[in-house]
Amino acid sequence: MDRVNAQQTRRILDLIVGASGVVLATLLILITFSIVCWYIIGYKYVFLRRASRESARFLDAFWQSRRLDDIYQTASELSRSPISHVFRAGYIELGKLRAQDSPDTGGVRADSADLADLESIERSLSRAQTSEITRLESMVPFLATTGATAPFIGLFGTVWGIMNSFRSIGVRGQANLATVAPGIAEALIATAIGLIAAIPAVMAYNYFVRRIKVQASEMESFSKDFLNIVKRHFFK
């Protein structure tokens, strides 16, 4: 059984190596796409898993601590957490407002804050969310591009290979299985490689999009909670 599989694999490799220039170029493009996609899949899986874990740790620290300075220190240590970056953006903006309102004491007077200050903090949180979502989505669109284009690239190679097969039939003036089969097999390999590249890319893209949506939702919820806390303690 293993011997039969080895022979079949060798035949497929012989077809790939002996393919025409256009079909071979198509296969190389698809193989390159597939390699890049698998690198992105591995990298983003680890990246998003760490981001999720550190976000959970940060939220635990945030709700357990009563001092923003201590939370900021924790956020600095959890650099892979998108929520920690959102908090740091809001904390820094709050610190700037504290310095403007009370340059001598470094504190915040309850009557010094106004609606403009709150909107400024909200904008900082929103910018941080946008930046973090962009960071989370980096490289993921390539998976969608591969999933959408790889089958068509493979189909192009297939069509080209079948055209060569019919041209060979026309030159030889005869059509039998021995004449047609190698060319068609060579052509269909392009479609197969295209599907091999596209299917994992589409599945991974959908998975990562869902994970990113969860992270974005958590950032949005945290921003609202943070604004409520700031409003309650610094805005009267």
- Whether the CB-CB separation of 90 and 226 falls below 8 Å is answered with yes
For position 161, what pLDDT does the model report? 77
For position 44, what pLDDT does the model report? 96
For position 101, what pLDDT does the model report? 61
Q: Residue 152 contacts by C-beta under 8 Å, 6 or more apart in sequence? A: 194
Mean pLDDT of the region 3-24: 57
Q: How far is Cα 32 from Cα 15, in angstroms, rounded to an integer?
A: 18
Per-position DSSP letters for 75-115, written without gaps between them: HHH-TT-HHHHHHHHHHHHHHHHHHHH-TTT-S--TTT--H
For position 105, what pLDDT does the model report? 41
For position 18, what pLDDT does the model report? 54
Task: Note the pTM of the prediction, 2 decimals.
Answer: 0.80
pLDDT in tens, 90-138: 988 888 877 766 555 444 444 444 667 788 888 999 999 999 999 999 9
- Percent of the chain at pLDDT > 90 equals 44
State the pLDDT confidence band at 147, using cuts at 50, 70 and 90.
Answer: very high
Say yes or no to pLDDT of 145 above 90.
yes
Residue 133: name the closest of 39, 220, 40, 221 by CA: 220
pLDDT in tens, 180-210: 666 677 778 888 889 999 999 999 999 999 9
State the pLDDT confidence band at 26, using cuts at 50, 70 and 90.
Answer: confident
Mean pLDDT of the region 24-41: 92
- The answer to which of 3-12, 57-66, 183-192 has the lowest mean pLDDT is 3-12
